[in-house]
Amino acid sequence: MKHKILGKLVGNTGDATKLTMVLQDSFSARRGEFVRIMHQERSDEGDVPVLGRITQISRSNMLFNAGFGSGVTELELLPGATVTGENLFAALELVGYRDPVSRQIKIPRRPLDPGASVETVDFQFLSDFYEFNEHTSLHLGNLVGYERGENCVPVFLDVNKLVTEHLAVLAMTGSGKSYTVGRIIERLVAVNNGTVVVFDPHGEYGKALAKGQLNFSGSIDDVEDVRDKEMLPKISDTLLRLQTLGAGISVFTPQNESFRHKYAGKNTQLALQFDHFEMDDVAEILPGLTEPQQRVLDVAIRYWRTTDTTEPRDINRLRHFLADGIEELRSWDDLSEAEAKALSGRSAAVASMKLSRVLNEAQSFYSAAMSTPTDIYSMIGRPSNRQGRLVVVDLQGLSDTAKQVICALLSSEILKAAASKTDPIRPCFLVYEEGHNFAPANGDAVSHRIIKKIAGEGRKFGVGFAIVSQRPSKLDADVTSQCNTLITMRLKNPDDQRFIAKASDMVSKADLDELPSLSTGEALVCGRSIPASLLVKVGTKALIHGGESPEVLRVWGTLSE
C-alpha cells in the first residue's frame, strides 16, 4: 500500500511525547489514529518506520476569531471567495519502532527530522508492528479506529504475563469493566483451559448459571467481528462439554436457601473447615481480639482438635467449648498459667460472642448437618486435572464483613495449597470484584492482608489476581502497584486519574487525557502483557453477564414489551 502523506513535523522534535505536525487539511486525520514517520537512528543504518499516535488536534481560523466578537456574524465574502488563514495542528506521541535485531519496541534516541513527512498506516502495518502470538495470547478486542471490517486490527494479551503478574481493571460505573473481565475469564477457561475464581459481591457472574443451566448471549448474527463470530460458538461448545465432565462453571454460595432457588439447587454450599486455618487467619477475621481473647480461642481450637480426632470437625463443637462447655477447657491439664487465667475471666465470653457473630454472618462453615466439607483441591483442581473451570463465589446479600471473611479464608487456603511442596493445586487466577471493598487504601478490611500477600508472593506459586474497581483512589496502592497489566476504561474523577498516574508508570499524560472521553466498551490497555499502550474496543462475550442495569420503565410497566 502507498502511504498517504497527512502532514509534516514542525517545531522542536526532541521530546517523543510532544511532537507537532501541520495537517494537510481538516479531513487528514482524527484524534487517536496511528501514523508513521520514517527515521534513521544511526548513520550506518537504514530508515525504519516509527509509529506514533495523534493525541490532540487544534483547528483555528483567523477570520473566525473569538476576538472579533459578534461582528463576525456580519462578515460577508464576495461571490466565489474562499476563507483562508486556517491553522491545523496535531500533537503526536511516539509509540516507537521495532528494532530489526532484537524485535523490541524502542523509542528513538535521536530526534526525528523537522519537516519529515507524517504518513498513514494500514492494518497490515499495525498487525506486523504489534507482533502477537495467538497460541499464547488472549484476544481482548480490536484497535479503536481499526475495529471493523476487513481492515480491523486484533489486540491480544499475553496469557502468562496477564495471569501471573496480576491485572487491574479500573473504570467508572457503566463503562463496561465487568463485561471486559467476563470476556477475559471465559476465554481463560474455554480457550486456555485455565482455572479462575471470582469473588462476586453482587451475583453478577453467577447469572451465567442462573436456574442451574448455562446461559449464553444473543444471536451470533449480531456480532460484527469475524474472529468473534468464529470463536464464540466454539467457546459455548467447550463450556457445555466441560460442564458434562464436572468442570466448566460452578457456583459456591453461603448456606442460604435463597441461593438454592437462584441456581435451582445446582450451587454448592460453602463448608469451610475452621480447624484448618492458622491462628493468624483467625485473628485476621476477628479484628480487635485482645491477647487474653486470642489465648482463649487458641486453647479452644487446640482442645477441639485433640478431642475430635476424626475430620471433618463440626464448627458447633467449637462453639460449645466456648459457651456451655467452657468448664471442659478450664479443667484441661494442657494449659499454661496465662491461658488458665484468660479462661477464668470474661475473655471467653467475649471471644465466643465475636466468633458467633462472624459464623452467623458468613454462613459458610462446616457442621455435622453438611454432607461434605469444601475441598480446595476439588474446587481448583490439581495440575493433572486438565479441564478448565470457572468458580464463582456468589456473595450477594451478605454484609461487607461476611464477604471479606469468606474472601480472606478462601484466598488464604488457595495460596497455601498452591505453595505446597508435595501436592500443589493447578495455577489459578483470582478475581476480586469491587476490589476497593476487599483491599481498601485504609486497610480496613479483613481480606486486605491476604490480598497484599498474594500480590507480593502469588506469582511464585502460580496464583495471580485481577482487582476490579470503579474507585481506583480508594484501592490500596501497594496492591495496584503489583499489577503489571492495567485496563482502564472511562474515568472522569480527577482523584482517580491522579491515583492511576501515581500508581503506575505505564500511563502517559496523553493516555490520561483520553480516559474521560472513552465510549462504553473502549479501554486503554497497557503493561507487560501487551507490546505498547493501546486503545481497544472490547469484543463480545459468549456468556450472559448480570452487570447491566435493569430497564426500569419496562419493569414499571410504562413501556410495552
- Per-residue pLDDT, 281: 86
- Kindly report each contact of residues 341-349 with a partner whose C-beta sits within 8 Å and lies 24 or more positions away, as own/partner: 341/292, 342/292, 342/293, 342/295, 342/296, 342/299, 343/296, 343/299, 345/292, 347/290, 347/292, 347/293, 347/295, 347/296, 348/296, 348/322
Helices assigned H by DSSP within 38-85 = none
Whether pLDDT at 79 is above 70? no
Check whether 558 has a pLDDT greater than 80.
no
Range in 151-155, 460-464, 493-497, 557-561 with the lowest mean pLDDT: 557-561
Tell me what pLDDT residue 439 has.
96
Q: What is the pLDDT of residues 35-73, one digit of tens each?
A: 999 999 988 888 999 999 898 899 887 767 666 655 555
Residue 456 cell numbers, joined: 507480593
The 10 Å Cβ neighbour count of residue 383 is 11
Q: What pLDDT, in 10s, does the model give residues 127-152?
A: 788 878 888 999 999 988 888 777 78
State whether CATH 3.40.50.1820 applies to domain 137-259+386-397+415-431+459-466+487-556: no
Lookup result for grid cell 477441639: 304
Mean pLDDT of all residues in the chain? 89
Closest among 444, 435, 36, 411 to 200, alpha carbons compared = 435
Parse the chain into domains and list their residue ranges: 5-121, 137-259+386-397+415-431+459-466+487-556, 274-362
Residue 465 neighbours by CB under 8 Å, 6+ apart: 166, 167, 429, 430, 431, 432, 451, 454, 455, 458
Whether 465 and 197 have beta carbons less than 8 Å apart is answered as no
End-to-end CA distance of the chain: 50
pLDDT in tens, 376-425: 999 999 999 999 999 999 999 999 999 999 999 999 999 999 999 999 99
Confidence of residue 179 (pLDDT cuts 50, 70, 90): very high
Across 352-374, average pLDDT = 92
- Nearest alpha-carbon partner for 488 in 142, 170, 179: 170
DSSP letter assigned to residue 545: -
Q: What is the pLDDT of residue 146?
A: 81
**Per-residue pLDDT tens for 203-248?**
999 999 999 999 998 778 788 888 899 999 999 999 999 999 999 9
pTM for this predicted structure: 0.88
